Amino acid sequence: MKICEILKPEMILPEFKGRDKDAIINELIDLFKEDNRIKDIEKVRTAVLEREKIMSTGVGNGFAIPHGKTPGVKDIVAAFGKTSDPIDFQALDGNPVNLVFLLVGKDNLVGPHIKLLSRISRMMNKEEFRSKLAAAESSKEIFSIFEEEEKKYLDLQ
């Protein structure tokens, strides 16, 4: 499964309105309100926020990957957003975050969920990729950057 199979331009926010961790996570989850892959958006919200309480998903380098597994979805879903004014995410490196990738999986799709988390992490560890995302101005431009980067990972399924 590829990131661009689950991330769609309409699930990308080129600039968050929220100014704190919970607000931006909720902003991303709210993108799924009309998504037919979602059975119960409140179960999605609970799964992601409860996972965040266990340990911050701010992995460092200005990036966070909030995620969760729930029976509230029919399939794995994703959303992405960014901010030009980085926020405190209690990241592991102590630095603020400006790029946030949300991944929510069906509770019984553990393998694909973990593979996608790994792929996202690998991509986001590239400074050039993060810089391109930070500079992008539209959802379509951000999606294109993900598509181009993911082409480098064709060997990973």
Domain count, the chain: 1
**55-83: string of b/e by CB count within 10 Å (b at 16+)?**
ebbbbebbbbbbbbbbebbebbbbbbbbb
64's tokens: 């966070």
Q: Using N-to-C axis directions, what is the helix angle for 127-135 and 139-150, rounded to 10°?
A: 160
> What secondary structure letter does DSSP report for 55?
S
**Minimum mean pLDDT range among 12-26, 42-56, 140-154:** 140-154
Structural element, H or E, at residue 68: strand 67-70
- pLDDT at residue 154, as a whole number: 61
Of 21, 67, 82, 106, which one is the catalytic site residue?
A: 67
In this prediction, residues 54-81 reach a mean pLDDT of: 94
Closest CA to 3 of 132, 113, 131: 113
* Confidence band for 31, pLDDT divided at 50, 70 and 90: very high
**Minimum mean pLDDT range among 22-36, 63-77, 78-92, 107-121:** 107-121
Question: For residue 133, what are the domain limits?
Answer: 3-153
Tens-place pLDDT, residues 73-87: 999 999 999 999 999
Q: Is 113 a catalytic residue?
A: no
Structural element, H or E, at residue 119: helix 110-124
Whether 108 shows a pLDDT value over 70: the answer reads yes
Residue whose entry in the numeric block shows the structure tokens 């931006």: 24
Kindly report the average pLDDT of the chain as a whole number: 92
CATH number of the domain within which 37 lies: 3.40.930.10
Q: Is this prediction's pTM over 0.85?
A: yes
Distance CA 75, CA 60 (A): 28
Q: Is the dihedral of CA 63, 86, 16, 28 positive or negative?
A: positive
Percent of the chain with pLDDT over 90: 81
* Confidence band for 155, pLDDT divided at 50, 70 and 90: low
In this prediction, residues 46-62 reach a mean pLDDT of: 93
Closest CA to 120 of 73, 74, 57, 70: 57
Percent of the chain with pLDDT over 70: 97
